[in-house]
Structure 1
Amino acid sequence: MSAAAHSTSLVVSGLSAGYGETDILQGLDLTVPPGRITAIVGANACGKSTLLRAMSRLIQPRRGQVLLDGKSIHHLPSRQLARQLGLLPQSPIAPEGITVADLVSRGRHPHQGLFSGWTRADDEAVAEALVTTATDGIATRLVDELSGGQRQRVWIAMALAQQTDLLLLDEPTTFLDISHQIEVLDLLTDLNRARGTTIVMVLHDLNLAARYADYLVAMAAGRLHVSGKPEDVLTESNVREVFGLESRVITDPTSGRPLMLPIGRHGMVEAAG
């Protein structure tokens, strides 16, 4: 991947978008920090996935625009956009009977010209993606036979083979147990640090978002409620306003990042009489 990956910019300006007659996003502005990891958090149905879909041109904005290096993504040729921006949607489905290597190879489609065939550069990109995600040892296996964590790494490998400067991921840890969640997030962090790839991901777990992201975006009712460093976003007042949840926020002794402890009606330490 290009050493200049960190210079690519992604800006959302006055974006309103949705489905049918309903606007989910309402006049949203966001500048994604280039070369960093951004996590989008918020309550269910607040517009997190809709924002990611709009940023990847899967849905058309009603108003506003998404700018990639200053150019509207809706005016870029599809192949050019796919060379710059990769998307891992929520719960992707692999074709039946496809091997790991074949699925990862599909990430090279944006680089195939009308008359050009498979090249050595394609082979090298696929091999590098397999090694980076530690899926080279299962390259000949069928994707259907893999565990959830293995499958997610394979999908990330396909996105890496695309060799984009920007990678958008919609809930990459969904349905994974905690060890596989950490495995996937560690992999994305390694990718960001080694290549400068800008990563934007939707996460449900506030504490994992605060631990792994350089920049947090908290959404509420289709709008950007607050954004910034994890310590500035993950506060008790913001958790209350965004999630309607009382909490205590302390410093995580492992990472030094903020750690949110929810307060429910049960499971609390009772004060001594």
Structure 2
Amino acid sequence: MLKVKNVSFSLNGKKILQNIDFSLSAGDFLGIVGPNGAGKTTLLRLISGVIYPDEGKILIEGKDTRSFNYRRLALKVAMVPQNTFISFPFTVFDIVLMGRTPYLGRFERERKEDLEKVKEYMDLTGIWHLRNRKITEISGGELQRALIAQALAQDTPILLLDEPTSHLDINHELEIISIISRLNKEKDKAVVLVSHDLNLAARYCRRLILLKEGKIFSQGKVEEVLTARNIRSVYHLNALVKKHPVTGFIYTIPVSTQNGKRSEKRGRIHLIGGGGSASKIMKELIDRGYEVSIGVVNVFDADFETAQIFEVPCVVEAPFSPITHESYQKNMQLINTCQLVILCDVPFGSGNLLNLKAALWALRERGIRVVVHSETSIKKRDYTGGRAEKIFQDLIKEGALLAEKEEEVLSFVKDHFS
């Protein structure tokens, strides 16, 4: 139905889009995502025929959009723009009715079929009660719904949406996108959605194109495009990417921006954690520019997932498995590269007691400063019959710094490297 073939576009000598290549079939729901300035809106304008590419071709049903006149193109493609300003006081009904213009001759009046289409889509978008209101008197969200109704009334096989829900509250946002999704499935409409909302795009789109600096950085299925690595590369943002346990949809949670590069000059710190006890401190240290490693943690542990997000060196053990001697040795090797060890507020059982022994080894055998974060008494965290408490007390006796709050831990870190 639609083919974008090696399209490039420049404006005032600046390349906006380069070598864009993809196709769209009937029933496809394609999302275009990317940061500001990536070229998302420009790409939609090229597809809609408002502007033409400098290089490459855009084909609709095998024909170059350059060969289409306005009316013929409007029968194939409808677009909801990101921002529209209407100064003339048309009624809301008249605005939606304009979507039927391509079906009418020059002096032809609207037919019964046109009026029925308008009412159908005004009802569908929840604005029929606004039909006699002036478009200049309604809210931004109501105007957005009117423009969506207009595009739907145009009844084209291809629908382009540029941030269609940007002015809508969360209820109307889900309602409108659900309507479009239903029409996509029931009427085989091909939909292209530009959105800054990665979670919205992941929920409704079946394919994604991720743009970076005017080029396609990644395209494919949602789970192939929305990865922590891709988000980090394109948005310069660390994010958690998960599959929702109830809906089954991919969702992202921003964790932190990448403010500058990690600096060796600030020092290397090894964390001994588990069960999520190191995640917050890990993020804080990385945000402040420290090199961080962690071990030993189990695969799928919360601290393991945080380490994956930040690409932190990590000694891992199989899920729900005790620390092996091999992992213990690897942990000590990582510790040996650091200038400071932080023992986090983690419970100890027989399975992770070697982590506590690694902290004592660092202090006693290697002379590496150890900071012990202990908001909860070691007695309440010791599930080894007292063995963990004994090692813990040895740590304190031999000079480990005790911190009850995370703020104290970070203060010790600052003092150590100042």
Per the TM superposition, whether the score is higher than 0.5 is yes
Alignment of 1:92-111 (within 5 A): 92-111=84-103
**Deviation of residue 239 (structure 1)?**
0.7
Aligned to 1:54: 46
Aligned to 1:130: 122
1:197 matched to 2:197: no
**Deviation of residue 117 (structure 1)?**
2.6
> For 2:66, what is the secondary structure of its paired residue?
helix
Scaled by the length of structure 2, what TM-score is found? Answer: 0.60
Aligned to 1:214: 206
Could you tell me whether the CA contact under 8 Å between 2:144 and 2:167 is conserved in 1?
no
Task: Please list the CA deviations of residues 193-248 of structure 1 after superposition, one character each: whole Å capped at 9, or x if unmatched.
Answer: 23221111110011111011111110111111111111111111111122111111
The match for 2:151 among 151, 159, 164 is 159
**Deviation of residue 67 (structure 1)?**
0.4
**Deviation of residue 131 (structure 1)?**
2.0
Alignment of 1:29-44 (within 5 A): 29-44=21-36
Aligned to 2:320: none
Distance (whole Å) between structure 1 residues aligned to residue 28 and residue 204 of structure 2: 10
Aligned to 1:114: 106
Distance (whole Å) between structure 2 residues aligned to residue 233 and residue 119 of structure 1: 45
**Greater Cα offset, 24-33 or 172-181:** 172-181
Aligned to 1:4: none
Distance (whole Å) between structure 2 residues aligned to residue 93 and residue 191 of structure 1: 27
Aligned to 2:131: 139
> For 1:246, what is the secondary structure of its paired residue?
strand
Could you tell me whether the CA contact under 8 Å between 2:144 and 2:164 is conserved in 1?
yes
> For 1:43, what is the secondary structure of its paired residue?
coil
Could you tell me whether the CA contact under 8 Å between 1:230 and 1:257 is conserved in 2?
no
**Deviation of residue 115 (structure 1)?**
4.4
> For 1:261, what is the secondary structure of its paired residue?
strand
**Deviation of residue 33 (structure 1)?**
3.8
Return the letter of the residue paired with 1:235: T
**Deviation of residue 181 (structure 1)?**
2.4
Aligned to 2:66: 74
**Deviation of residue 83 (structure 1)?**
0.7
- Alpha carbons of structure 1 residues 130 and 11: separation in structure 2 relative to 1, 3 Å: same
Aligned to 2:81: 89
Aligned to 1:14: 6
1:242 matched to 2:234: yes
Higher RCO by CA contacts (8 Å cutoff, separation 6 or greater): 1
The match for 2:176 among 156, 161, 184 is 184
Identity rate of aligned residues, in percent? 38
**Greater Cα offset, 246-255 or 34-43:** 246-255
Distance (whole Å) between structure 2 residues aligned to residue 131 and residue 194 of structure 1: 18
Pair member with larger Rg: 2
- Is there any run of 5+ residues in structure 2 with no aligned partner, and where? 258-278, 282-343, 346-372, 374-418
Distance (whole Å) between structure 1 residues aligned to residue 166 and residue 234 of structure 2: 21
Aligned to 2:162: 170
Could you tell me whether the CA contact under 8 Å between 1:231 and 1:257 is conserved in 2?
no
Distance (whole Å) between structure 2 residues aligned to residue 184 and residue 231 of structure 1: 24
**Greater Cα offset, 121-130 or 96-105:** 121-130
Distance (whole Å) between structure 2 residues aligned to residue 10 and residue 33 of structure 1: 7
Q: CA RMSD in A?
A: 1.8
Distance (whole Å) between structure 2 residues aligned to residue 242 and residue 179 of structure 1: 30
**Greater Cα offset, 223-232 or 251-260:** 251-260
Return the letter of the residue paired with 1:42: G
> For 1:238, what is the secondary structure of its paired residue?
helix
1:257 matched to 2:219: no
**Deviation of residue 54 (structure 1)?**
0.7
Could you tell me whether the CA contact under 8 Å between 1:18 and 1:50 is conserved in 2?
no
Scaled by the length of structure 1, what TM-score is found? Answer: 0.90
Distance (whole Å) between structure 1 residues aligned to residue 21 and residue 163 of structure 2: 21
Distance (whole Å) between structure 2 residues aligned to residue 135 and residue 176 of structure 1: 13
- Alpha carbons of structure 1 residues 130 and 178: separation in structure 2 relative to 1, 3 Å: closer
Distance (whole Å) between structure 2 residues aligned to residue 118 and residue 183 of structure 1: 29
> For 2:237, what is the secondary structure of its paired residue?
coil
Could you tell me whether the CA contact under 8 Å between 1:42 and 1:219 is conserved in 2?
yes
The alignment of Structure 1 onto Structure 2 pairs a total of residues equal to 264
Could you tell me whether the CA contact under 8 Å between 2:2 and 2:58 is conserved in 1?
yes
> For 1:173, what is the secondary structure of its paired residue?
coil
- Is there any run of 5+ residues in structure 1 with no aligned partner, and where? 1-8
Aligned to 1:3: none
**Deviation of residue 141 (structure 1)?**
1.7
